[in-house]
Amino acid sequence: MEKTGRIIKSISGFYDVFDDESKEIIRTRARGNFRKRKIKPLVGDKVTFDATGDLGYILEILPRENSLVRPPIANIDQAIVVTSATEPNFSSNLLDKILINIEHNGIEPVIYLTKSDLLNDEKYQTLKETLEGYHRAGYLVFDDRDSYNDQQVGKLEATFAGKVTVFTGQSGAGKSTLLNHIDTELGLATAAISQTLNRGKHTTRQVSLFDIADGLVADTPGFSSIDLMNVTPEELPTLFPEFLEYSSECQFRGCRHVNEPNCKVKEELAEGNIMQSRYDNYLYFLNEINSYKKRY
């Protein structure tokens, strides 16, 4: 009998599927023709499957809302971007690049600051002012002095209900540590930071979805760099929510907000309503994308 469910774990060619009807986890394999058709099931995929035998078989992967290559996961609703204040140092360029990739994939981003307790008061206040700019741009931001206090972690958990949530961000930023504070039974591996590289060691080996706070949550490998090769110059300005807010008032439709006259985005930038660092990163990314297109 054909059933529907969602893949919550992938390991060595087997897929654990959460059955929509029975609410049980069924171990399955993909049909043999999947490989011939170059179809690979992903954690997060909604599927139809047959569970009549000792081992179930995935019959069909239902249309995906979105998917990521790294980590390999599909149908994500929101991404918690875990960004550290130090060790590794906060980078607005890297944060913005991650946010753009998340927006590009149709996923709702949330910013969560860790290790702020390692900063002195002056540096923390400076960083908090920067993150206030992200809040004004429309992002949900968690930036308490104590990264893992129960109240803040509880507020983060409240965003999980009814969603598939992925944790992402630079290696060593503290994704697994944060998830351990959310659900101590996960026992996710954490590792020390390599001081010489100022970069975290990859500690998460596979992607699984866990049932937490009425939602499904994945812990995923971090990364140290990410490119924008799939983003076009036309799409880039639409991935900055604060640009979108004002772009309809620009003189030219499809304004790139660079040299065009009567650009509302640049007017708001001059007024201090758009962060200079965000605009500078936008120009940097635009140049990077244009250079990539010329090369390839």
Distance CA 61, CA 150 (A): 39
Phi/psi for 34 (5° steps) reads -60, -45
Question: What integer is the mean pLDDT of 240-257?
Answer: 96
Give the tens place of pLDDT for each residue, 262-275.
999 999 999 999 99
Pick from 121-135, 143-157, 217-231: least confident: 217-231
Asked if pLDDT for residue 185 goes beyond 90, the answer is no
Asked if pLDDT for residue 189 goes beyond 50, the answer is no
How many CB atoms are located within 10 Å of the residue 60 CB? Answer: 15
Percent of the chain at pLDDT > 70 equals 90
Asked if pLDDT for residue 211 goes beyond 70, the answer is yes
Strand 199-200 with 2-11, pairing: unpaired
Question: What integer is the mean pLDDT of 86-114?
Answer: 94
Asked if pLDDT for residue 226 goes beyond 80, the answer is no
- Tokens 């992925």 correspond to 166
The answer to whether the CB of 112 falls within 8 A of the CB of 82 is: yes
Q: What predicted TM-score, i.e. pTM, was given to this entire model? A: 0.87
pLDDT of residue 197: 41
Asked if pLDDT for residue 204 goes beyond 60, the answer is no
Asked if pLDDT for residue 206 goes beyond 70, the answer is no
Per DSSP, which regions of the chain are E strands? 2-11, 14-19, 25-30, 46-50, 56-61, 67-68, 73-74, 78-84, 108-114, 140-142, 164-168, 193-194, 199-200, 208-212, 215-219
